[in-house]
Structure 1
Amino acid sequence: MPLLLAACGGAEPGPQARPALWLVEDSDTRIYILGTMHALPQGTDWSGGEVAKAIDAADELVMELSPAELAAAGGVFQQLAPRESPLAIESRLQGKALVGYRTIEKSGRSFSAEGLDDWAVMVLMGQRIAQNAGLSPTDGVEAGLTARFEAAKKPIGGLETARAQLMLFETLDPAAQRTLLTRAAEEADTAVKDVGALTAAWGRGDVAALEKVVNEDIDSVPAARKAIITDRNRHWSAWTKRRMEQPGTVLMAVGAGHLVSTDGMPAMLEAEGLKVKRVQ
Structure 2
Amino acid sequence: MAHHWLSKSVLLPLYLSLAACSAPQDVVASTGDEAVSDSVSAPASSSASLPSAMPDDADPALWVIKDEDTTIYLFGTIHILKPGMSWFDEAVKDSFYASDELVIEMVKPDPSVMAKLVGELAIDKTGISLRDKLSAEDRTDFEAAMTRLSVPVAAFDPLDPWFASVSLSLIPLMRNGYDADQGVEDELLSHAKARAIKVSGLETPEQQLGFFDNLAEDVQIRFLNFTVDTIDDVTTGMEQMVAEWANANVDALGELMNAGLEDKIIYDTLLVNRNITWAKWVEQRMEQPGTVFLAVGAGHLAGESSLQALLAQKGVAVERIEY
TM-score (norm 1): 0.90
The corresponding residue for 1:242 is 284
Residue identity matched to 2:267:
R
Pairing partner for 1:46 from 79, 83, 87 = 87
Matches of 2:278 and 2:85 in 1, distance apart? Answer: 27
Matches of 2:65 and 2:238 in 1, distance apart? Answer: 29
Residue identity matched to 2:71:
R
User: Secondary structure in 2 aligned to 1:125?
Assistant: helix
User: Secondary structure in 2 aligned to 1:188?
Assistant: helix
Q: State the shift of 1:244 in Å.
A: 0.2
Q: State the shift of 1:178 in Å.
A: 1.1
User: Secondary structure in 1 aligned to 2:94?
Assistant: helix
Output aligned runs, 1:40-189, within 5 Å: 40-68=81-109, 72-83=113-124, 84-89=126-131, 91-92=133-134, 95=137, 98-99=140-141, 102-104=144-146, 107=149, 110=152, 112-189=155-232
User: Secondary structure in 2 aligned to 1:123?
Assistant: helix
The corresponding residue for 2:76 is 35
Q: State the shift of 1:114 in Å.
A: 1.2
The corresponding residue for 1:224 is 266
Matches of 2:78 and 2:66 in 1, distance apart? Answer: 24
TM-score (norm 2): 0.79
Cα RMSD over matched residues?
A: 2.5
Q: Does 1:197 align with 2:240?
A: yes
Q: Note if contact 1:13-1:44 (Cα within 8 Å) is conserved in structure 2.
A: no
Residue identity matched to 2:80:
A
Q: 1:86 to 1:267 in 2, by over 3 A?
A: same
Q: State the shift of 1:3 in Å.
A: 6.5
Residue identity matched to 1:51:
V
Matches of 1:88 and 1:117 in 2, distance apart? Answer: 7
Q: 1:6 to 1:108 in 2, by over 3 A?
A: farther
Q: State the shift of 1:74 in Å.
A: 3.7
Q: Note if contact 1:21-1:32 (Cα within 8 Å) is conserved in structure 2.
A: yes
Pairing partner for 1:19 from 51, 60, 83 = 60
Q: 1:81 to 1:42 in 2, by over 3 A?
A: same
Q: State the shift of 1:199 in Å.
A: 1.2
Q: 1:15 to 1:75 in 2, by over 3 A?
A: farther
Q: Deviations for 1:18-68, whole angstroms, at most 9, x for unmatched residues?
A: 111111111111101110011101101111121011111010000011243
Bigger CA radius of gyration:
2
Q: 1:191 to 1:93 in 2, by over 3 A?
A: farther
Matches of 2:79 and 2:219 in 1, distance apart? Answer: 24
Q: Deviations for 1:74-119, whole angstroms, at most 9, x for unmatched residues?
A: 4322221111223252651655774466435653654721111110
Matches of 2:53 and 2:62 in 1, distance apart? Answer: 20
Q: Note if contact 1:97-1:182 (Cα within 8 Å) is conserved in structure 2.
A: no
Residue identity matched to 2:224:
L
Task: Return the structure number with greater helix share.
Answer: 1
Q: 1:206 to 1:279 in 2, by over 3 A?
A: same
Matches of 2:108 and 2:230 in 1, distance apart? Answer: 32
Matches of 1:205 and 1:228 in 2, distance apart? Answer: 22
User: Secondary structure in 2 aligned to 1:249?
Assistant: strand
Count of aligned residue pairs for this structure pair: 277
